[in-house]
Amino acid sequence: MARANFKGEIPEEKRELCLVSDALNVIAGKWKLIILWQLKETRRFGELQRLLPGISKSILTSQLRELERDGMVHREVYHEVPPKVEYSLTGMGRGFLPILDSMGEWRKKHAAGKGGDADR
């Protein structure tokens, strides 16, 4: 998903929208939310691959790099043979877990409606 790029001074009435856009830019991507959910526990790359059937090695690598760049994920490299790399959530990443929990609760609540008019 493309990132939105804002240039210049942001008008006051648009700042809240920009914060939402900024947040969406961090989590944009088919796999990022699922990766964040799986990183509730520290995981190795191969373990993440097994937990995410259908994701390619290159996509997992790129999504992890973006999450690391955006401060959500920490990558720890252990200098041993064979090399060991673990991924975990940063404080910012852990702070996002309640949002993921809320999304799950929202889906449970509205699963019967399936997007229809059931809750109107």
Question: Among the residues of the chain, which ranges form H helices?
Answer: 15-27, 32-38, 45-51, 57-69, 91-110
Residues belonging to the chain: 120
Identify the pLDDT of residue 61. Answer: 96
3-state secondary structure of 76: strand
pLDDT tens-digit profile of 52-82?
Answer: 999 999 999 999 999 999 999 999 999 999 8
- Please indicate, yes or no, whether the overall pTM of this predicted structure exceeds 0.85: no
Count of CA atoms in the C-beta half-sphere (13 A) of 30? 8
Q: Which tokens belong to 103?
A: 């999304």
Query: 112 CB contacts (<8 Å, ≥6 apart)?
Result: 118
For residue range 14-67, list pLDDT tens digits in order.
666 677 788 888 898 899 999 999 999 999 999 999 999 999 999 999 999 999
